[in-house]
Structure 1
């Protein structure tokens, strides 16, 4: 303790800031035991590039991702006496093209990708975490149904995409499970019966193959009162025997460990008494990668790290 399984840097992500090495140095400074370096995989169509990537191309994004891996593994070796670094990736699933390329990428890179953060950021090819107007455009894109049914269709499509991603790649970390309600944190999936069934289906499947659910502190900087996932999802995960891991989803050195001081109260509020983390393993997991989930020993809420964060 502490750990984070999900991070980015401005060196390899245009909507982040700072160098990857500065992210690592900040994690060391704060006393992290394990820190995951997980850049976004490339996107493969010009139409999927973000506004800040206007000068780039899909080919340059692929080159950038390979440079990320080189640098991440360099830092892993350089700082091994001070911190455990795991090198992974965060998924994209915009169209089937992305899943096909992810499969090819994992084959090509082999063990250089130690684990996967399985995340969905698009529905109907439209980003759902860029800004509110873009999210609303994604909702409105379901033209075949009535206006009042489009929110439900977006949520269903999101969880279907998440399920397909899990089925094919079995990510070790389920990234920000409920990002689909980013701009509507009060939304409850139980108000949409079809959505609720898909939520339960996805949770059941993830637990069956051994995934950890990310407790992502970035939700606090997005003006939520909770981490991702919110209480209603946590309740289902706990009821089914699921396990949680910590992430800061930092986008630069300034966000390493950001809002971690708010996590203990949330853990206590929702009844989470165990924290799990990934570590290297000599035995392949269900996805064939050499990492395993390990439970943190002792009282996760009483760890000295939280006291240090509260004093900041």
Structure 2
């Protein structure tokens, strides 16, 4: 049996709508066992709630990704038993769907003994997920700048220093990405686009040069947070509490409702103050304190399969 760990991701990071994604040291574990037939048995266990999650086969992203991989390599499906142990909260803006896709593709690579190129692996993942800022960091780690070029999705990776803590304050309700895209305007104006262009440039420079005091300005967004925050009670106050407590930066994680903050100190105090604001708005929350995950799952697969 093989086991792989797929990191949670924070997509849309700050101003990086559909562009920036960060891998985090919160993992979903996939136990993979090859079968002698063509049956595919998938079990998904929510480790936070200690219960099995039932998903119809047609909607099961692990199964869809597994099948897609075999279709791509043009081979008959090899049966497997895959158990996903989820530590990443479901539908909270932390890449649970991306984890399932990457996990399913990786499982197929292991069972088949054939690892496709990284470029092809990314294309398959994006075909299923649609958003590269979630699946790419889950595959390669770090902070990824994702872009489409010459008919392929590509990325530039920045390793994030382990001196930074990332605080995840996770409200106890789900928000589906499809619904959250519906609240966005069809057209954006030049001032909003210029604001985000400048902030993306500043954010990447801040992480590369470790000038974290720039992150408060760098994480400002005018493309999606102003519209999505209306679905999250206390959003502005939670961000204010994070900054007042000493956070360098704070923003919506993915499509939400999780709010991410980063700091080098006082992480527990920042987390508790953010949690208190949610509580004052009658919203229960869970807290995770994590680091960036810079390790590449693709590299691990390469070493295991070669």
- Alignment TM-score > 0.5, same fold: no
TM-score calculated relative to the size of structure 1:
0.28
TM-score calculated relative to the size of structure 2:
0.28
More helix by share: 1
More strand by share: 2
Higher RCO (CA-CA < 8 Å; seq separation 6+): 2
